[in-house]
Amino acid sequence: MVNLGLLSGIKSAKSVKSLNVNFRIPYYTQWGQSVLVCGSEHILGSWNVKKGLLLSPVHQGDQLIWTGSIAVPSGFSCEYSYYVVDGEKNVLRWELGNRRKLLLPEEIKDGEVAELHDLWQTGGDALPFRSAFKNVIFRQSWSLNIERSEGLIQNKLDQDDSILVHFKICCPNVDADTSVYVIGSLPKLGEWKVQDGLRLSYAGESIWEADCVMKRSVFPIKYPFGRNLSLETGSNRELSVDSSKNQLRYIFLSDGMLREMPWRGAGVAIPMFSVRSEADLGVGEFLDLKLLVDWAVDSGFHLVQLLPINDTSVHGMWWDSYPYSSLSVFALHPLYLRVQALSENMPDDIKDVDYEATLTTKLSIAKKMFNLEKDLILNSSLFQKFFSENEDWLKPYAAFCFLRDFFETSDHSQWGRFSQYSKDKLEKLVSKDSLHHDIIRFHYYVQFHLHLQLSEAAEYARKNGVVLKGDLPIGVDRNSVDTWVDPNLFRMNTATGAPPDYFDKNGQNWGFPTYNWEEMSKDNYAWWRARLTQMAKYFTAYRIDHILGFFRIWELPEHAMTGLLGKFRPSIPLSQEELEREGIWDFNHLTRPYIRQEFLQEKFGTSWTFIAANFLNEFQKGHYEFNEDCNTEKKIAAKLKSFADKSMLLESEDKMRRDLFDLLKDIVLIRDPEDSRKFYPRFNLEDTSSFKDLDDHSKNVMKRLYYDYYFNRQENLWRQNALKTLPALLNSSDMMACGEDLGLIPSCVHPVMEELGLIGLRIQRMPSEPGLEFGIPSQYNYMTVCAPSCHDCSTLRAWWEEDEERRHRFFKNMVGSDAFPPSECIPEITHFILRQHVEAPSMWAIFPLQDLLALKEEYTARPAAEETINDPTNPKHYWRYRVHVTLESILEDKELKTIIKDLVRGSGRSYPQAGQETPAITPEKKQVANGQERNLTAIPLNGDRKKDLSEQLASI
């Protein structure tokens, strides 16, 4: 018997009634695993899993049931959850969803038993509690009037052989006039007649409950629901009351989720900068989202998806158009500020995003308004509230922007005494007494208005039943506020990328530093939690960019420019001992570029002697190595540029750089820079000349070790890594999370995503199934987003026109026609492919706006190639695509909206009803003259002004 004196609030075990609580949950585990229950009270471990209650397994039919018992006092209440643990009680996985609540009625007598019949809560079960559903799509269901308190028992036991069953089920998507019943074979459950069944009462939080006194038996049950009381799907549920347990008087039956047809919705995707309206200034703006929401609702869409919207102004030029390289993961981009209400002279002839000119003009206008109203705005209670809630990131951001402009670089290593961040220096930089205080306050002012405008748009979307979906980039720019303030969270001597895949056979190098996960874990990933909390102020869903990076990241040395010579982090390397045991000894051959004279002559022709003389050293007859001053990609590029500037190159600089890079990458093993006795097999090592010159034994060993490294030995490590990092994201907000899981997918990824309730991505032209050229939407998993294209690939029209032979194969295999396909993606083809996707089982079908516009011929006059948003093979791609028609014009196009809505309706997907609610916020509009300054510095610094500031900064 448990010592009740250990229970919270209990002084003496002798003065209270002792009740037994039995836990019971069916769940299949692997050998060596157990199920454990842990909860808020001491007897259940006080949320310390190591001290939780270990359950025992028993087979009942085809089920494995885990059971356990504790003794508690009358009126006991607690929260609890179930965990799967190993033999040392280390957590292997845990159920998702809200914590369970237990409240025992005072009527339970001394010695009686209450049994909890629970079902394991999966990640999918938790989705209805995410804000996308709870606060947007199902918001009317969640606002129903509460009929009873959750857990309240309203009936009493009247006979010794009777038992009270408390029915409980979650119904997150019901109409206002809905009823929920439970029916079964017993008379008290209507004998399968719905009208005579037991009606459940709404207890809040989508929970419906009722209790019923009945005889001990085994009987099937089912839950009718809705206005017409349709039966839930699936086979009958079964409630078993063990007649041998005489003391069992109460059963709390938590039957999980109501089994109805899975909810499916549709949405539109478009970058914020690509939106065009009659009111914008050269680029889409946050307030344009209200028009986009109106169009989405009219077209039957429940979701609008954006690319990242954080400030990216690192370089002060068009390179900053890359939305995945943020200056700050908290600050919003000034580019999206609505300033046309401040000007009477709006240009009419803006066609595409001119990043520099647009941002300069907006900052110029904002600066004029700041000078007019800074005291009025910055002293307002609304601003003071915003500042107090955001100062932890807002102060460093404003200081960073000031120092960036003052030193004319974002490379904070060039900032002298300010290269090293400290709170003392920060407070002096943002001090009211500083000469530059208005510059600091100007950045506060801009962020405040961006916050107001995005909040207004987000609230408008929510009230109109539209999920606003953001994007969480995998990296941050190495010259960012985040790396300045928290350099210990990043591995600054590395770069992030992706191994060769569909997008690029040479891999990708994004340039971001990789994360120091070990350091991040010390405060339970506080930086990530703050980042997601900030996003949740505006979004109800988000896309996790490159979710594979939370399992493992492709890490490159900082001196790399391409993405091939990387390794996975974390990963288990090949040790020198392991290789030597396999008979591999010549590490110089395997780890150094393999350069022979005949390779040079073949690759460079008559220029080979110039290459050999200036870049290489002949260390052995006919064998070369790179000189010290050009033994990395960045060194090679710099040296070639110096020769090009002196007109010393006989061939194009780009070609010679590619050829030299190929030589540098001709290795079999990459030696770990931090441990010379550890090695990583180069991706596609069989393609190298170095590998081809190995003996047969060495080739066979390296092929086997290569396959093991990339496809076997890391799986458990990567699974464990993801289960440490991803829950920190998921638990820091209530947004719905989707993961971009394209590329080389380890086998551990999809099971972990399923376990955590993460929704994957399926692009038809990039199937995840081996052996398929085109994905089959009708076979997609429910927990996915399906789309015909995305921002990282060509649009549907462009893809169709790119490859004639592929077009023939698609037409034959997917359309089922041997006819000659049209050379252009005519509206009928677009309609067929979009219909494939809306009819897929996927939870979401989300379409780029370009693909939707292709449903009407009049919107296809623009060359298809011009509609591509990004070219992943080009690290300096200019992200400037804008839709060539305004939102106002497509809002007026009833035919297009009808075509799209009919597709959504015909697929059985849910769609919002137009005109339900109006926005709560209406901004005050003011007019000022249009500014003409063209500098990117928010407040110009002339010579005298900069001299004064230099003197002040030197004193900090």
| Residue 939's pLDDT band (cuts 50, 70, 90) | very low
3-state DSSP call for residue 396?
helix
Question: What are the start-end ranges of the H helices in 494-575?
Answer: 517-520, 526-535
Residue the block writes with tokens 């030193």: 407
Which range (107-121, 340-354, 775-789, 886-900) has the least confidence? 340-354
Quote the CA–CA distance of 450 and 445 in Å, as a whole number.
9
Superfamily of domain 18-257: Immunoglobulins (2.60.40.10)
Q: Check pLDDT > 80 for residue 379.
A: yes
**How many CA atoms lie less than 13 Å away from 899 in the CB half-sphere?**
17
Burial (CB count <10 Å: 0-12, 13-18, 19+), residue 793: buried
pLDDT value, residue 16: 55
Beta bridge partners of 237: 221
Residue 951's pLDDT band (cuts 50, 70, 90):
low
pLDDT value at 766 more than 50: yes
- Residue 265's pLDDT band, with cuts at 50, 70 and 90, is very high
- Common-topology check for domains 18-257 and 266-492: no
Each residue's pLDDT tens digit, 610-643: 999 999 999 999 999 999 999 999 999 999 999 9
| Residue ranges covered by each domain of the chain | 18-257, 266-492, 565-708, 759-907
Tens of pLDDT, residues 21-35: 999 999 999 899 999
**Cα–Cα separations (whole angstroms), residue 710 to 382, 677, 865:** 53, 19, 35
Evaluate whether 311 touches 897 at the Cβ level (below 8 Å). Answer: no
Give dist(CA 558, CA 504) in Å, integer: 20
Sign (positive or negative) of CA dihedral 202, 203, 209, 211: negative
The predicted pLDDT at position 398 comes to 98
pLDDT tens digits along 67-106: 999 999 888 999 999 999 999 999 988 888 889 999 888 8
- The H or E element containing residue 729 is helix 715-730
**Is the pLDDT reported for residue 365 higher than 80?**
yes
Instruction: Give the rounded percent of residues in the chain with a pLDDT score beyond 90.
Output: 68
Q: What is the mean pLDDT of residues 102-131?
A: 88
Mean pLDDT of the region 372-380 = 90
- Label residue 317 by pLDDT band (50, 70, 90): confident
**pLDDT averaged over the chain?**
89
Look at residue 245 in the predicted model and tell me its pLDDT.
63
Half-sphere exposure of 751 (CA within 13 A, CB side): 9
Q: Give the pLDDT of residue 124.
A: 85
**Overall average pLDDT of the 195-214 stretch:** 90
Query: How many angstroms separate the CA atoms of 161 and 113, rounded?
Result: 13
Q: Which two tokens stand for residue 87?
A: 């033999």
Q: Among candidates 944, 798, 935, which has minimal Cα distance to 871?
A: 798
Residue type present at position 143: S
Instruction: Yes or no: say if 861 and 853 are a contact pair by the CB < 8 Å rule.
Output: no
| Paired tokens of 260 | 């109805």
Domain 266-492 sits in CATH at 3.20.20.80
pLDDT band at 920 (very low <50, low <70, confident <90, very high): very low
